[in-house]
Amino acid sequence: MGRTYSDCHFCGGEVKEQRITREVWRHGSLHLIENVPVGVCQQCSQKTILPQVAKAIDRVIAGETPPDHLIQVPAYRLPEPETTTRANRPLSPTTRSPAPGACE
Ligand SMILES: [Zn+2]
């Protein structure tokens, strides 16, 4: 629809438009913008976004448009990694641990 992308900046490949969902973090919360037109290089998959599209995304996130819908996403907090197994002391014989360098 009149939108043109120049050839890929990196490899000179052909760039075609695709619609993607873009994730943007703003003020500590995740915003999803669906149906975003981006140019995707057919050779190296490099994505380019037109300035007017980037501006439209900024306006949406600035709150000028109410969200179309809300989604819930699972959020996890990674537990502290266990450090005891890496402590510099001999393992007891009952500890079943792969030998150093062994592949699992
Ligand atoms: Zn490319």
pLDDT given at position 28: 87
> Is the pLDDT reported for residue 104 higher than 80?
no
Average pLDDT along the chain:
84
Rg of the chain over Cα atoms, rounded to whole angstroms, equals 24
Distances (CA, A) of 63 to 16, 57, 91, 93, 104: 30, 10, 57, 61, 49
Gap from CA of 54 to ligand 1 centroid (Å)? 20
Higher pLDDT, 8 or 100: 8
Gap from CA of 69 to ligand 1 centroid (Å)? 34
Gap from CA of 45 to ligand 1 centroid (Å)? 6
pLDDT (average), residues 59-85: 86
pLDDT (average), residues 8-27: 94
Gap from CA of 30 to ligand 1 centroid (Å)? 28
Global pTM value: 0.62
Gap from CA of 38 to ligand 1 centroid (Å)? 13
